[in-house]
Amino acid sequence: MCQDSCPENSRPRVSNDNAFAESVFKTVKYCPQWPSQGFLSLEDSRQWMLKFERFYNCEHKHSSIRFVTPVQRHEKRDQKILEHRDQAYSKA
């Protein structure tokens, strides 16, 4: 049997792999609110994803962007938030 030597078993060499899509899928799948029994309909899954997207982009603070939300970063509101945070840390 072919294991490590076969190109089809090596994900970095898969031409149609989308690392960003795989990462998002894992994030969604491991979300505590993910319905373990699945969705009742396609519309239910769409509604759940819309709620998740809003939470992830507007409420969840991401460690990789210094604990601000993607919306705050995109709208360039993060600089003021980070300055205020730095001032609070300096006082403490």
Please check the confidence at residue 71 and state whether its pLDDT lies above 50: yes
Residue 69 CB coordination number (10 Å): 20
User: Residue 69: its pLDDT value, please?
Assistant: 97
Contacts of 73 (CB under 8 A, 6+ apart): 65
| Per-residue pLDDT tens digits for 30-66 | 999 999 899 999 999 999 999 999 999 999 999 999 9
User: Residue 18: its pLDDT value, please?
Assistant: 82
Query: Does 24 or 10 have the greater pLDDT score?
Result: 24
Phi, psi of 68, deg, nearest 5: -120, 170
Q: Identify the sign of the CA torsion 55, 84, 76, 18.
A: negative
Residue type, 88: A
Q: Identify the sign of the CA torsion 74, 79, 82, 88.
A: negative
